[in-house]
Chain A
Amino acid sequence: MTTPVTIVMVEDDEGHARLIEKNIRRAGVNNEIIPFTSGGAALDFLLGPDGSGTVNKGNPLLVLLDLNLPDMSGVDILKRVKENEHLKRSPVVVLTTTDDAVEIQRCYDLGCNVYITKPVDYEKFAHAIRQLGLFFAVIQVPPAA
């Protein structure tokens, strides 16, 4: 891996963000995690000031996305990322509380790569995130075109 994968975490709840980060680290993932608490800020980072996504050219990105954001729905971010010709190959992991079948379907239809429901039970939560971390450690992420 020439450039290490950057994990972009879009999560409005800082507690959740912290717990997610902790458990990813516990899985031995040491990649940089850039947290965003609002959809707008995350989009600015991902697509750049001109909104074209060229700013991240050559950077391998992995997006960890919550759907319930204060300023927009995570679905919109997913759509923008998957529609962008530079970012469309970057894996997007939706990590949210919703386990609604319709919502899950919609996300996969829009090109989401993994959909994980946050379990309330912390043991399960921690386990799920650690599994995810292990998954991060092995997956191949292509650099943004």
Chain B
Amino acid sequence: MTFPRPRLLSSQPLLLGVGFGILILIGIAGAFLSNQARREADWIEHTLQVEQQISTLLLQVRRAESYKRGYVITMDDGFLSDYQKAANGIPPAYDRLKLLTADNPAQQQFVTELGPLLDQRLADFAEAIDAMQNNDIATAQALVRRMEGRDHTERIRELAERMTATEAGLLVDRRQAAARTSILLAAVTIGGAILIMLLGIASVFAVQRTTRQRDEAEKGLIDTNENLEKIVEERTADLQEANAEIQRFAYIVSHDLRSPLVNIMGFTAELEAWRDEALARIESLRERGAPAEDADEGDQDEGELAGEFNEAINFIKSSITKMDKLINAVLKLSREGRREFHPEPIDMAQLLDGIISTVAHQTAETGTTIAVRELPQAKSDRLALEQVFSNLIDNALKYLKDGVPGEIEITGRETPLQVIYEVKDNGRGIDPKDHERIFDLFRRAGQQDRAGEGIGLAHVRTLVRRLGGRMDVSSELGQGSVFTVTLPKYWNVRSERSAA
């Protein structure tokens, strides 16, 4: 399965990275701009403070002047104390203004010029008041007139106005800057938000596309799986059909083979009967006509003839008997292959006890012990398992080591999906090269000193396979054998259907 656009998968982290980058930039720019906006606000406030301070100063000067004037006119001491208060307020107000405008050289210049003018003014006030206190009214009045004549007052007012104008200009500039900054801040924020949104939309699309591709891939995978299952099912059905056909074939063939065998057997027996009759006739003929001395010789000849005849007949008969057994074996196998299984839960210990009781006389005769350990329950066909285990136990009993009392042990265990049974013996064992051969039909291994056609294990393996299981052997010559029967824990439909 190939993905047509693998780069798309890597574009998502990229989008995410770009998004984070933009967020960080917006954060930095926002922090910077808001800091600037705060500073600009400070500056605006500062300007306002300066303006206020200028008017405060002017107010003090004017108050001092008017109280002084009042004193000069009325000579009232109340005015004098008010004047003192106002006059005392002027230097701190001036100092504060100077401090406030320290950042601005142009304003500083005005302030510097303002300082001596104010001092002069205060000195003039003080002189006039002194003159009044000394009752020198004329001098005081002259002083006042002189003061009025001077353009100090005018100059102070002018300076103050110019400073106020400068600050007003600054205020306008600073307000504009602040407005720009806030517009910039808004622009950065909105722009960033839009970019993030765009990125979000892009990544949503990307995710959708990947999801769609993944869904398609998944669907493809499911299709493939379903196809695979179908293919497996078809193959299984084919195999089952082929198997069934082989079994039908074996059945028919063995039947048809049996039929001529009946004739061979029958007419051989008839021949035997005729031989006896023929010999009897020869005998009677000879008795009637032959000379006595030849009789013994003739008897000898006839004896020899009868012997050879018997030998031939016996060979024919034993061959036919063997052939009949083989055909019966094939028939039995093919019939077993056609039998339908009926799975049921089986208590294996009970099943084995049943088998062991049927071989009791053999075990007693050979002094064999059969031990059945704890066995897991099986869900399978009872008759089939009986045949399997009785074959295995029969074999174990049949091929004991000479002179050694047999020990047969049946053990079992289970895995999540299988139940496994082992039939272990201490018998003569099987050469590893014969491990496959022993399961073949009509094939046997080792010393051929026991009766049998070589059917049992072939039958066992066929049965176990049909039960959905597996048959294994592990053995060494002279070391005993272990036959392992592995069965599925859960009876599956497939193996049931193969019985049909």
Contact = CB atoms under 8 A, between A and B. Distances in A.
Contacts of B255: 68, 97-98
Contacts of B259: 13, 16, 68, 97
Contacts of A100: 335
Given A19-B267, A120-B320, A125 B262 contact: yes
A4 to B, nearest CB: 27
A100 B321 CA distance: 20
A126 B265 CA distance: 11
Contacts of B320: 120
A15 B266 contact: yes
Interface of A: 13, 15-16, 19, 22, 68, 97-98, 100, 118, 120-123, 125-126
Interface string B244-271: 0000000000011011111101111110
B324 interface: yes
A120 B267 contact: no
Contacts of A68: 255-256, 259
Smallest CB-CB A-B distances: 4 pairs: A15-B263, A122-B269, A19-B266, A122-B265
Interface of B: 255-256, 258-263, 265-270, 320-321, 324, 335
B267 A121 contact: no
A70 to B, nearest CB: 11
Contacts of A15: 260, 262-263, 266-267
Nearest to B265: A122
Contacts of A122: 262, 265-266, 268-269
22 contacts: A13-B260, A15-B262, A15-B266, A16-B259, A19-B262, A19-B263, A19-B267, A19-B270, A68-B259, A97-B255, A97-B258, A98-B255, A100-B335, A120-B258, A120-B261, A121-B321, A122-B262, A122-B268, A123-B269, A125-B265, A125-B266, A126-B269
A28 to B, nearest CB: 17
B258 A13 contact: no
A24 to B, nearest CB: 13
A126 B335 contact: no
Nearest to B320: A120
A75 to B, nearest CB: 14
Contact of B265 (A22, A98, A121): A121
A125 B266 CA distance: 8
Contact of A120 (B256, B262, B270, B335): B262
